[in-house]
Amino acid sequence: MKTNFWKDKRVCVTGGAGFLGSTITSKLCGLGCGELIIPRSRDFDLRINESIKKLYFETRPQIVVHLAAIVGGIGANSARPAEFLYDNLMMGTQLLHEAWVYGVEKFVAIGTVCAYPKFTSLPFSEDNLWDGYPEETNAPYGLAKKMLLVQSQAYRKQYEFNSIFLLPVNLYGPGDSIDSENSHVIPSLIMKFLDAKLSGQQEVVVWGDGSPTREFLYVDDAADGILLAAEKYNSSHPVNLGSGQEISILDLATTIASLVGYTGKLVWDRTKPNGQPRRRLDISRAQSNFGFKARMDFEDGLKRTVDWYVQSSA
């Protein structure tokens, strides 16, 4: 992705040390970004307004890419709904407001596919966002992030503030969290099968019944999509970022077990929640508005991801 857009720009990436953030910041360095600002929680608590004011006053960013979030899988969302709602809502609302106050040129808000209604016709179109309530286990998180869309549109209408709102699907790739409580489905399954293989377990318990489907976007593709939108997209209409490929949790688990080399039995715990029944995005808006299309083949990306975890756990 060759461009001069980022040359000499001062860019603040909240969550810039995280899984997606580190990929974006690495790409920004390669694109000649003038100054890269990565606020750390020990220096700036982004839930506190005075801390955000301090960040903007000291760094004076021209572009803010807001990635920072409290995230996790179904278990973490179910156990800590208040935290997922409050922390994400306070970070997003205040960061965008103060960006307008301090004259930031552009604010890039990163939402979540969890903002979509639990039952949404496939593929998920951005026009379906308000057709119902999100899936219950992650609704507090999804709604907190969804408020960034409402705020983005309101600030553009009243203040002509240039903010955009992107909806990436589930991300995966080397470097994602391996925290057993907070990790998402792909790293969680990889670690389960790795541990079972190393310890000689004859079976692995997987949540749900395997019927839900998910769509995944490789982290490098997600970073490219976000940077393309930051450069070329100037509207508060929400935009999906996805791959357009759908896979069932059953097929995903079976594939990961094979890649890991685990030959035991998969046992489905139907007392645990499935989450949203199906997910597949309509990705036409991103392609038509700023030319984004995912490049990584899912099987290749999954193999790279498994290989990274295997090496990391060795």
For residue 117, say if its preceding peptide bond is cis, omega within 30 degrees of 0: no
Catalytic member of 141, 155, 172, 233: 141
Contact between residue 165 and residue 147 where contact means Cβ atoms under 8 Å apart: no
The residues facing 289 across adjacent strands are none
Residue type, 179: D
Q: What is the C-alpha to C-alpha distance for residues 271 and 260, in angstroms, rounded to an integer?
A: 26
CB 184 within 8 A of CB 73: yes
Catalytic residue flag (residue 102): no
270 token code pair: 């139907």
Distance CA 266, CA 83 (A): 32
CA dihedral 142, 212, 77, 268 (to 10 degrees): 180
For residue 307, the tally of other CB atoms under 10 A from its CB is 12
Catalytic residue numbers? 141
